[in-house]
C-alpha cells in the first residue's frame, strides 16, 4: 500500500514471528550466521516468547531473508 509520497507503508516484521520461519527453511546455523551470531542455538531463543533477542543490527538482515 502506498502512503502517497512514493513510499510503501510496510508493517515492521516481528523477529519472534520470522525467526521460526527462517529456522524451518534455512536451519538455525544459517539463521545465526545471517544475524552475525556465532551461537547456532541463539535463533531458537529469539523465537521463544520471553527469550533473548538478536542484536538491533541483525533485525534488518533477518527481515530481508
Angle between helices 15-26 and 28-35 (to 10 degrees): 130
Mean pLDDT of the region 8-33: 87
* Grid cell locating 15: 523477529
0.95 exceeded by pTM: no
Local confidence band at 11 (pLDDT 50, 70, 90 cut-offs): low
pLDDT in tens, 22-61: 999 999 999 999 999 999 999 999 999 999 999 989 998 9
Instruction: Report the Cα–Cα distance between both ends of the chain, in Å, rounded.
Output: 21
pLDDT at 20: 95
Amino acid at each position: 500500500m502506498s502512503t502517497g509520497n512514493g513510499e510503501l507503508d510496510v508493517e515492521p516484521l516481528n523477529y519472534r514471528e520470522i525467526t521460526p520461519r527462517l529456522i524451518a527453511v534455512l536451519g538455525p546455523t544459517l539463521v545465526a550466521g545471517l544475524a552475525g551470531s556465532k551461537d547456532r542455538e541463539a535463533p531458537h531463543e529469539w523465537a521463544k516468547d520471553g527469550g533473548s533477542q538478536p542484536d538491533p543490527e541483525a533485525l534488518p538482515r533477518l527481515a530481508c531473508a
